[in-house]
Amino acid sequence: MAEELDDRGTASLRLGERCYDSPVLQELIGMVEADHRRILDVGTGTGSNLRAMKARGHLVTGMTISWEEAVECSRGGFQVVVADAAQPHLPFADQSFDGVLLSHVLEHLQEPASLLAALRPLVAEGGAIYVALPNAVHYKQRWEFMRGRFRYSETGIMDQTHLRFFDIGSARLLIEGAGYRIADQRVSGAVPSLGLRGKAPKLWSKLDEVGLARFPGLFGFHLMYKAVPAR
């Protein structure tokens, strides 16, 4: 069941729900085409991406499973739908959106391919989905594994709410297997600076550029994809 909140946020809250204040991933936002006006932000949190997309001129709708998050977003004047992303049918009409944003959402689902498949009919002709996932084999996490440590945490790659883990290749396979074609692939991250970045920022910026280009699976923390439905 899905329900829409008005801008007064009149829905009742359920106690104990997690209200997630997700930071904006500017690199992913920057991948969204300007002419993709109607955007659905899945797993909207408290609305950081909604605000960022609205500032770029997009018409935004949020979707979350959390009533608390929905109320917080609606206080900012955003249209928000409360729905379970794990359900096979989503409460939107076909071709409702030019773009769908999935910023660090799929790793929280037991069957992320099912959500991707359910979203495909909602994407208008010429539209795309924009996906960000954490890189499970980022160099810092590799070091932890090499130390024999597999520890969950409150946030980050080993967030205790993560159910699935991906590298560059398996993320592509997930998206393509759900009926999409990868149109763009990028990573965001940095090479280790050993505390020297502040002394030579231009040099380390160049090293970041080269390192991410040569070894994206090692130094990339965020894996980002633009994908179009394979119609």
Facing residues of 26 across strands? none
**What is the pLDDT averaged over residues 90-113?**
95
- Predicted confidence (pLDDT) per residue in 147-163, tens digit: 999 999 888 899 898 99
Return the bridge partners of 80, or none. 5, 62
**What was the pLDDT predicted at 198?**
87
Give one DSSP letter per residue of 119-173, joined into a string. HGGGEEEEEEEEEEEEBTT-HHHHHHHHTT----BSSSTTBTT----B-HHHHHH
3 state DSSP class of 20: coil
**Contact 156/128 with Cβ under 8 angstroms?**
no
With bands split at pLDDT 50, 70 and 90, how would you rate the model's confidence at 18? low
Q: Count the domains in the chain.
A: 1
Residue 231 pLDDT > 60, yes or no? yes
pLDDT category of residue 4 using cuts at 50, 70 and 90: very low
pLDDT digits (tens, 9 = 90+) for 55-90: 999 999 999 999 999 999 999 999 999 999 888 789
Share of the chain above pLDDT 70, in %: 92
pLDDT mean across residues, the chain: 90
Q: What is the mean pLDDT of residues 198-227?
A: 95
Mention every residue, 6+ apart, whose C-beta is less than 8 A from residue 95: 121, 122, 123, 124, 125, 127
CA distance 196 to 207: 12
* Structural domain boundaries, residue 93: 3-229
Q: What CATH number does residue 223 fall under?
A: 3.40.50.150
Q: What is the pLDDT of residue 113?
A: 96
Average pLDDT estimate for 93-109: 95
